[in-house]
Structure 1
Amino acid sequence: MRTSLKDLVDRLGSVWPNAWIQRYPHLGMMEWPIIDSDRRDQICWSDVNGNLVDFSVKVASTSIGGIHTVSSWHKWVWFPGNIARHAFCLWIACHRRLPTQDRMSIWVSEDEGLVCPLCEVEQDSHRHLFFQCVFAHDVWQRIKFFANLEEWPDGWDDIVELLSDDSYARKPLASKLFVAASVYYIWRERNNRLFRNAAISVDQIVQDIRNIVTMRLAWNTRRTRNQIHGPT
């Protein structure tokens, strides 16, 4: 037999058990609940302003995690049809938080080099990797052609500024996929050379990017067709 909240309150006799107060001291400061048998139970939550409101996951999440400004470039990262691992890598890149060697230098001795694994000339840094490095720059120039983004700049700060422009958010799905894939594959190649001593050519990276974007576009087309006409 289930015990109702009213039964529990009546059983406790308007006194919080000592074991409860010891574990949750704030109970001692709470008024004893008044049960109205004529009203239906309602789940409430105290919002960020201290107001008692109807409970929802959104309200609870906001109260716990706070309110955060939505980044203006989010439409280039979290768009329908994105490739999850590419989107995540691009998200970190837009925050400029990929762990390049210049950011990790506090754990590196002065004798250890911080040279870029791709060009082996300049210092490994976020700004250098996207897309000042001659290797990454070559990849980006070719991808810009396939993505119809020939007018786009080569500096990451300038690129993120374009990503934040609402007028560019309406670019085709292919363009968005190419941008995210370029960041992901360059970052992956950098890590493969640095940690696995494995390398592939610019031509191979560009081909890999084109292949993955083509497959995703085909998948997206099939998904859209199935949503409209049903599976064939």
Structure 2
Amino acid sequence: MWCTGSPLRSVITPRYITNAGFNLRTTVADVIDQNGNWKWPQAWFDLFPVLITISVPNLDSNAEDRLVWKDVDGKPGDFKSAQVWNTIRSQEHHAPWANMVWFSQCIPRHAFHMWLAFRNKLKTQDRMAVWEAGSQTNLNLMCCPLCNYDRDSRDHLFFQCNFSAQVWNKVKAMVNLTNVDTTWSSILNWVEQHSRSKSVDHIVSKLVIAAASYYIWQERNNRLSTNSKRTVDQVAEMVKGSVRLRLMSFRFRASSAKERIFKAWQICNDDVVDPG
């Protein structure tokens, strides 16, 4: 980028370049004469007014061309793969729920599910209706397979559905989520306030939210595909068991916090295997 308008072949058509005796591989030095003037035809200034603003550069014949990497702000620097990625990727604002989905103690399959849920990309019935999948009659007959009432959606499943609400109320009692009700907006409000927290209680709460939504979604899919049904207590125990297993591999900074968490989740120290 030797000038703001370069490369000039993006401005001047190939036909005019060829008619003037140049080609697409012609360099800047090739179009400067010995007196330091442009060699291109005078008519080009009328055809391509941008050329009027381009002054003849001072070329040092003893210097060699070199490649210089510039970042997204145009600042030259060392070539790094991280800089390349930041340049070519599509950059958006940091999602307020990102730390709720991806954190070091997360359960990967639960995290991926939460990522879809926060983006509202789960294949719920309300989204299928927008896609116009199936006949209109079949769409009108759709209802939540958990409570058999109303068409399921993300906000309905987590956790306004009667079945989901019962599961949620059972598992949220295990952690400090008493102020979070059965609405998705209430969960989002908690996430925005605590998702970045390093507190062990908030980390366990994030595990509970992710596990609850994951197993409710799993139960919903099982009822649609196999017609098998679990009770509220069974699903709640699956949530608790999943979180309990994850807690057994935690590295606690304070022994008092470990004792308190283990007592609340009924974990015996004899059952814990040292992850180191």
Which interval holds the TM-score relative to the shorter structure? 0.7 to 0.9
Cα distance in 2 for partners of 1:179, 1:149 equals 9
Q: How does 1:1-232 map to 2 (within 5 A)?
A: 28=25, 45-105=69-129, 106-112=132-138, 113-166=141-194, 169-171=197-199, 172=201, 173-221=203-251
Amino acid at match of 2:88: I
Secondary structure of residue in 1 paired with 2:69: strand
Label 1:48 to 1:209 Cα distance change in 2 as closer, same or farther (>3 A).
same
**1:51-82 deviation per Cα after TM superposition (whole angstroms, max 9, x unaligned):** 44322232111111132211122222212211
Tell me how far 1:170 sits from its aligned partner.
4.6
Secondary structure of residue in 1 paired with 2:125: coil
Structure 1, unpaired ranges of 5+: 1-26
Cα distance in 2 for partners of 1:156, 1:129 equals 9
Larger helix proportion of the pair: 1
Cα distance in 1 for partners of 2:27, 2:112 equals 44
Aligned twin of 1:15: none
- Which structure has more relative contact order (CA 8 Å, sep 6+)? It is 1
Label 1:36 to 1:127 Cα distance change in 2 as closer, same or farther (>3 A).
same
Larger Rg: 2
Query: Taking structure 1 as the reference length, what is the TM-score of the superposition?
Result: 0.73
Tell me how far 1:99 sits from its aligned partner.
1.6
User: Cα RMSD between the aligned structures?
Assistant: 3.1
Structure 2, unpaired ranges of 5+: 1-23, 30-60, 256-273
Tell me how far 1:35 sits from its aligned partner.
10
Label 1:210 to 1:51 Cα distance change in 2 as closer, same or farther (>3 A).
same
Tell me how far 1:169 sits from its aligned partner.
3.3
Aligned residues between the structures? 196
**1:64-113 deviation per Cα after TM superposition (whole angstroms, max 9, x unaligned):** 11322111222222122110010111122122221211101121321112
Tell me how far 1:145 sits from its aligned partner.
0.1
Identical columns (%): 36
Cα distance in 2 for partners of 1:104, 1:137 equals 23
Secondary structure of residue in 2 paired with 1:220: coil
Tell me how far 1:147 sits from its aligned partner.
2.1
Runs of 4+ residues over 3 Å off in structure 1? 27-32, 34-37, 42-46, 49-52, 166-171
Query: Taking structure 2 as the reference length, what is the TM-score of the superposition?
Result: 0.62
Aligned twin of 1:22: none
**1:132-173 deviation per Cα after TM superposition (whole angstroms, max 9, x unaligned):** 100001011111101221221210022112201148835522
| Kept after mapping to 1: 8 A contact 2:97/2:195 | no
